[in-house]
Structure 1
Amino acid sequence: MKKNPNLYQIGEVINIVGAGVTRRIILNYEDLGLLVPAEKDPDSGYRYYSADNVIQIKSIRTLQSFGLSLKECKEYYYDKSNIEKHLHRLMSLRDTLDRNIQNLQIRAARDSNLAVHTVLLARGVYFCRRYKCADTKDAAIKLRETYIAASKCTNISKVNKMFTVRHGTEDSSNDLLMCIPVEDSFYGPERVEFAATKALCIYFRGPYEQLGTAINELKSYIEKNNIKAQDKFRSIYLEGPPQRGTNTADYITQVAVPIL
């Protein structure tokens, strides 16, 4: 079969796409039903690919870079009955990417920026336990214990972040509700659903013992601008010991308060 001048051989496709794509990867896409060559020589077995094929390979690689498995990529293209599920999956990945970009921007700053932001806190289901902690160290232990308890009961959410809700009236209050994000299917006694809500927040970079600085700044902003708080202060843990170890100066916490 004479090659159509508008088609590409597999080696040409590899050169165009780049980014680590190999012959084996392309053939694997075909085996999984993700890709169908424009033409295939029945005698030699040579494959010929169209420009659309090349664009599709690039698209598959992009979806993989977002964290989708090849099975999920196939569902994304060909499963028309579960569009909402695939849309939710991609939106979750987008939100995770946005948070990672935000964390990098905060880490790039030399000092904590106590600027106040208006945000939308996402809806989520959480495994929650309330403790009166002796101090910040004890609170960290209780949060870890709550995480372990939640992981033994159900699946931890890959989208939302764990947080604590500060009860009491003092800035130093260690009366805390520990909230571990879990999947919606969890219905144990510790289940608490938090609705999506508008909030004010400060992204604080530094040790947990100094979170009172951000809380005081938020309180002052609310009072100065005559804003009505809808709920208690939350400390949402974006990056802490799992990512930064004992380098507490690089911990990133979103201190937020829902507002009306």
Structure 2
Amino acid sequence: MSKMKLKIGEFSQMMQVTVKTLRHYEQKGLLLPDEVDEWTGYRYYSLDQMQKLQTIRDLQRLGFSLDEIKDLYDDVSHTPSVRQLTEKIKETEQQLKQLIARRNRLLDWRDSRKEMKTMEKFSIQSLPEIIVASHREVIPNYAAIGPMCYEKIGPEMQRLGCKCPPPGYCFTIEHNKEYTPTDIDIEYCEQVEEMGTDSAIIQFKRLPAVPKALCMKHVGPYERFYESYTEAFRYMEEQGYKVAGQHRTCYIDGAWNQEDPEKWLSVIQIPIE
């Protein structure tokens, strides 16, 4: 009885795998066609290749890489040993721990953002001591804050290997002695897990704790911060608070993830006593 042969396209359809994947398996020496026509170059697959491909896919689902699977087929047994299975179980348990940790961090981040979006317009909070990656620059206007962050500061922090604890805390401090709509001397700070090595763009420093700060939500473009400052200082006067340090502007949603400036969310933080 002659052996049944399938062209690569037919084999691809029946096994629900792309031709590109089959050629990749062939290049790795993992799944060779049963026959290759020397004149046409057509590749033909048999029932044996079907069974082998099924085994390959099963092993991949169990976490074995293609290189590991090839080693198994180079071996006589064609199946993982008890030692190999034990190692794969340990790897899976480690990956599971990492995924659980990632899920917990994402949950914390999500819950923090929910709290931020639903917080009262004014709140009194303490700001803990933190380590920040800092960048100070004179920018032409407030609209330049977004590009400065994601075109310059972000890539440099990534290059330096900065790790930011969730949910993420970034803010700016203005160093101008008086208001100016242009040539704004601004310092951008983002909380990081540890001190790093300074570069031409990023400097690392430790900021002391702020025992008490008035926090106020600002919704809208940065050019309207004055509206929120007016409200904040009126509230401080009514409550008998005084400014006790340099204010911060914390950014929650901005140009990097929200196109409409009217939906940008920031929090003004003013140390008080």
User: TM-score over 0.5 for the alignment?
Assistant: yes
Structure 1 residues 89-119: Cα deviation after superposition (integer angstroms, max 9, x where no partner): 96x666523322124437xxxxxx7x32112
DSSP 3-state at the match of 1:100: helix
Residues 131 and 142, structure 1, Cα contact 8 Å, conserved in 2? no
The letter for the 2-side match of 1:235 is T
Would you identify which runs of 4 or more consecutive aligned residues in structure 1 move more than 6 Å? none
The letter for the 2-side match of 1:162 is C
Matches within 5 A, 1:1-260: 31-32=89-90, 70-72=96-98, 95-105=108-118, 115-144=121-150, 145-159=152-166, 160-172=168-180, 174-188=184-198, 190-197=203-210, 198-244=212-258, 246-260=259-273
The letter for the 2-side match of 1:175 is D
Specify every segment of 5 or more residues in structure 1 that has no aligned partner in the other structure, as ranges.
1-23, 36-67, 77-88, 107-112
Aligned-CA RMSD value: 3.6
The letter for the 2-side match of 1:225 is Q
- Give the TM-score taking structure 1 as reference length: 0.57
Structure 1 residues 24-45: Cα deviation after superposition (integer angstroms, max 9, x where no partner): 99xxxx945999xxxxxxxxxx
CA distance, structure 2, for counterparts of residue 241 and residue 122 of structure 1: 27
CA distance, structure 2, for counterparts of residue 254 and residue 228 of structure 1: 19
Specify every segment of 5 or more residues in structure 2 that has no aligned partner in the other structure, as ranges.
1-60, 63-87
DSSP 3-state at the match of 2:148: helix
State the identity as a percent: 20
The letter for the 2-side match of 1:229 is V
DSSP 3-state at the match of 2:190: strand
CA distance, structure 2, for counterparts of residue 182 and residue 164 of structure 1: 15
Give the aligned length. 182
Structure 1 residues 32-79: Cα deviation after superposition (integer angstroms, max 9, x where no partner): 5999xxxxxxxxxxxxxxxxxxxxxxxxxxxxxxxx9612478x8xxx
The letter for the 2-side match of 1:188 is D
DSSP 3-state at the match of 1:242: coil
Task: Give the direction of change, closer, same or farther, for the CA distance of 1:154–1:210 in structure 2 (3 Å limit).
Answer: same
- Give the TM-score taking structure 2 as reference length: 0.55
Structure 1 residues 190-245: Cα deviation after superposition (integer angstroms, max 9, x where no partner): 1121233231111111112212211222223223433232321211111112321x
The letter for the 2-side match of 1:119 is Q
